[in-house]
Structures are given as structure tokens and as C-alpha cells.
Amino acid sequence: MSGVTEGAVIQLFLLVSSHTADELLVNPGLNMIAYIPVFIVTLLVFSLIKHFDFVAFDLGKRELDA
């Protein structure tokens, strides 16, 4: 989830700003600034999952009927 969000937000950041991907590699401060929206979106999705008790995979211990 976070990788898809990061790819989309970083591309949007590069499109809106005048920066290039090479500048993100060279400048760690710029890279951190570009990642802040990704972090916020990831936290928002995580909080919605926790709020609605969404479970994609139940990995709890279950007994099988034989």
C-alpha cells in the first residue's frame, strides 16, 4: 500500500514542483519533504483501517475440522 502511495505522491510532487528525481537522490532534505505527504496519506489509511476494524487476512489460530 505504501509503495503505491509513495509512487503516486512522489510523481505528483515532481510534476507540481520544478524538481527532478535526480535532485531527490542528491538532496536528502528535499527527499524528506517529498515523503511527508506519503507519510500523512499512509497514516490516514492506517487510522481508517483501525477505526473500521478492517481485516484483510485473519492470521489468528484456528482449529480445522477433520
Render pLDDT for 9-24 as a digit per residue (tens, 0 to 9). 889 889 998 899 999 8
**This prediction's pTM:** 0.64
Instruction: List pLDDT tens digits, range 13-65.
Output: 899 988 999 998 999 999 898 889 888 988 998 899 899 988 877 777 776 66
pLDDT of residue 29: 93
pLDDT band at 3 (very low <50, low <70, confident <90, very high): confident
Rounded Cα gap, residues 5 and 49, in angstroms: 16
Q: Where are the domains of the chain?
A: 2-50
The answer to whether 9 touches 38, Cβ cutoff 8 Å, is yes
Cα separation, 37 vs 5, in Å, equals: 9
